[in-house]
Amino acid sequence: MTINQLQDKIIEDFEGVDDWMDRYSMIIDLGNTLPPIDEKYKTPAHLIEGCQSRVWLNAELTPEGLVRYTADSDAIIVKGIIALLIEVLNDHAPSEIVDSDLYFIDRIGLAENLSPTRSNGLLAMVKQMKMYALAFKARQDAEKK
């Protein structure tokens, strides 16, 4: 599925749930399905700057040239949010991730229903995920030359 198809699926999943407590529950449940990050990545170098909670993020380039993210957080809501982002961006080409417009965040009302510090953390997570993709894209472009 494309990034936009995955976003549309998430929007559809959230459309039937009006109550934000239920939506938070969905996000927490998604966080509980997040595969554990390898302990070797739970280091200061993998912490996302700008998050109130601790969020560790790692990205690797697969042999097929796709970005694979792993993450964890010490906060259940934040873990669910990073799981949502991973669901959308995982296993896509770096250029697709860099060029993506993550419209699902606004469409499901996520940003407006987070505290200001959590909203800043969400932006920091997106920024870091795109920065990893940008670095991989630069490496791929250099290898083509």
Q: Which residues are catalytic?
A: 51
DSSP class of residue 36 equals P
C-beta separation of 89 from 97 below 8 A: yes
Question: CA torsion sign, 89 to 71 to 111 to 14?
Answer: positive
Q: What is d(CA 87, CA 91) in angstroms, rounded to the nearest whole number?
A: 9
**Tokens in use for 64?**
């097929």
72-91 burial code (b ≥16 CB/10 A, e <16): bbebebbbbbbbbbbbbbbe
CA distance readout (Å), 141 to 5, 94, 98, 129, 131 = 26, 11, 14, 18, 15
